[in-house]
Amino acid sequence: MLLKCRSRRFWAVVGGFLVGLGYIGLSFVIRQTVWLMLLMTSLSGFGLSFLHLITVISLKDTFQDSYPTAYATSSLGTNVGVSLFPLLLEYLNSYYGIQGGVFVFGAFLWNMIVVGLLIKTTMHREDSTYEEIGEDTGNRLSSLQDSQSHRICNSLPLQIFSLHPNFIFLFISSVLVEVNFVAWATYLVPYGQFLGYPSYTAVFLSTIGGVSGLFGKAFVAIIAYHDCLHPINIIVIPSLLIALSYTATFLLTNFTILAVAASVSGFCIGLQGSGRFSMMGNVVCAKHFNLAVAWSYSGYTLSALVGGIVTGYVRDVTGSFQYAFSFLVVICLLETIVGIVWCCLSSIRWGNNEE
């Protein structure tokens, strides 16, 4: 709806502004009430989601049939940021203090405003056509009314789930993937510290995971180019590998095992994160693509809250990060079940858009 009243460039700039504003606001309320901290974090997350949404829609419009490969390639930059984020924030915190470091980091993130300005500006408009009235005006008007009624019905937000049943499974999988990703990105370094490693050592777990995720997304670009996107290799197999990597850290806690687990989980999380959006063009038709993206990012907001808050709550109640990651193992097993059911019930011909 927002794209109908303002251009994509406008909303991308707004999203970039909110990302930086959230972190700058967080620097002023840090160590104060948890609700203020959550408010600022949510503000930044909302802006980031909005910027991503506009980017995905623009990629689809620009590359059309080559969208899966284009998205998978463009998402490689995400993991560069994931791998550099803890190192950069650690440096800023040591140089400026926690409040100053977060403030400077928020100001640095305002470079996303420039990114938003570079997005092609378009507004959603429907072309109006006028035809000369002839003898069969009544029949054509009736046909036009039926067509408009059908279009209005199909444009209802919930209608996408009935028109494209495969999107139900993609949506559920996306929510579970994001729950796992947010919790993994948030608690991987604290988990290393919990197991007895100093912060300057544990921080490299995030770097290893981020670099591995880069390779995971590069792998998606390859399989997307060869039209091999499928729930088995995007959802089922990666979820099982992530669950196994988490479980290994419960049994063996030396840093080599943790590094291997971070590498495997990072690769698979990167693969899933890029793969689910690359698959979207194969799951829904072009007419409902924008709506599918909007639904997916709505689920992203929900899963970000669940991934961070619920996993943190599990850790607080049990006093152990191992229980928190046990919760994530359950999430991965649920992803696997959803993916298997999807494969069993789906009649989609992968590599072609669902009509």
Q: What would the pLDDT profile of 75-123 be if each residue is shown by its tens digit?
A: 777 767 766 777 787 788 888 888 888 888 888 888 888 877 877 665 5
pLDDT of residue 79: 65
pLDDT of residue 349: 47
pLDDT of residue 82: 63
Buried b / exposed e over 37-61, threshold 16 CB at 10 Å, is: eeebbebbbbbbbbbbbbbbbbbbe
Domain-embedded: residue 156: no
pLDDT of residue 150: 45
Domain-embedded: residue 141: no
Residue with tokens 């463009």: 74
pTM for the structure as a whole: 0.72
Residue with tokens 């203090």: 97
Range of the domain at 183: 2-122+163-345
Domain-embedded: residue 54: yes
Domain-embedded: residue 143: no
Residue with tokens 């949510």: 42
Domain-embedded: residue 310: yes
pLDDT of residue 219: 92
pLDDT of residue 22: 82
Nearest to 233 by CA among 264, 263, 209, 268: 268
302 CB contacts (<8 Å, ≥6 apart)?
Answer: 175
pLDDT of residue 153: 45
pLDDT of residue 347: 54
> Up-side HSE of residue 63: CA atoms within 13 Å toward CB?
18
Domain-embedded: residue 68: yes
CATH of the domain at 271: 1.20.1250.20
Query: DSSP alpha helices (H): ranges in the chain?
Result: 8-29, 34-63, 67-74, 76-108, 111-118, 137-154, 159-163, 165-194, 199-225, 231, 237-251, 255-283, 289-305, 311-318, 321-345
Which positions of the chain have pLDDT values less than 70?
Answer: 1-6, 31-41, 79, 82-83, 120-156, 300-301, 304-305, 347-355
d(Cα 43, Cα 58) in Å, to the nearest integer?
A: 23
The single-letter DSSP state of residue 130 is -
Domain-embedded: residue 216: yes
Q: Work out how many domains the chain is built from and give that number.
A: 1
First-last CA distance in the chain: 24
pLDDT digits (tens, 9 = 90+) for 168-214: 999 999 899 988 988 898 888 889 999 889 988 888 898 898 889 88
Domain-embedded: residue 145: no
Q: 119 by DSSP, 3-state: which?
A: coil
